[in-house]
Amino acid sequence: MLNAEQLESNKNKFKETNQKYNIFTDSLEQFLGDDFFIAPATTMLDMYGCYPGGLLSHCFKACKYAVKTNELLPEKMRVDVKSILKTIFISQIGKVFLFKPNSNQWQRDNQGKMYDFTDNLVSMRVGERSLFYAGKYGVDLTEEECQAILNSDKDSDDKMAKFHSTTLSHVIKIGFELSILEEKNG
């Protein structure tokens, strides 16, 4: 859980990062509004980021690990840090309106299911919805960034994503996986 101070700190940190790296367009930022800053990352307590502000917190951790992973690579394999940050944040915006608080107290108390899925959205994977929002609100993405966003929520047994992806896709995936491990074991 994050307290009000931590939520505000993360919001300000993202605004500074966004200003420095031009991740969101003004229209995307307006569309997402404060919902972006308070969105959870998942629906269940036994998962990760299942609390207000969990999505942004998860993104920051993923950025930290993806950038560090990128630094370990031989120079000719490294990708631009701006592309890493942009891809991580954009890949998760599909979750912003995806969850609503669970009104079933029994499920909250006994199963840890704190959120339900929003009923009125067309069914899409998070990466697909994220690309839809990005395109609709004027975010310019490279082919590699699009691939990384689509691959970010694919299963590890997807051979196309595993063996035919760019370095960016792999760096992003590692960042997300380590972010989840930190939250679960931290």
Amino acid, res. 33: G
Q: What is the pTM of this model?
A: 0.94
Nearest-CA neighbor of 171 among 81, 57, 38, 46? Answer: 81
Q: What pLDDT digit, counting tens, does each position of 121-149 carry?
A: 999 999 999 999 999 999 999 999 999 99
Residue 113's beta-bridge partner residues? 44
Residue 115's beta-bridge partner residues? 101
Q: What pLDDT digit, counting tens, does each position of 14-61 carry?
A: 999 999 999 999 999 999 999 999 999 999 999 999 999 999 999 999
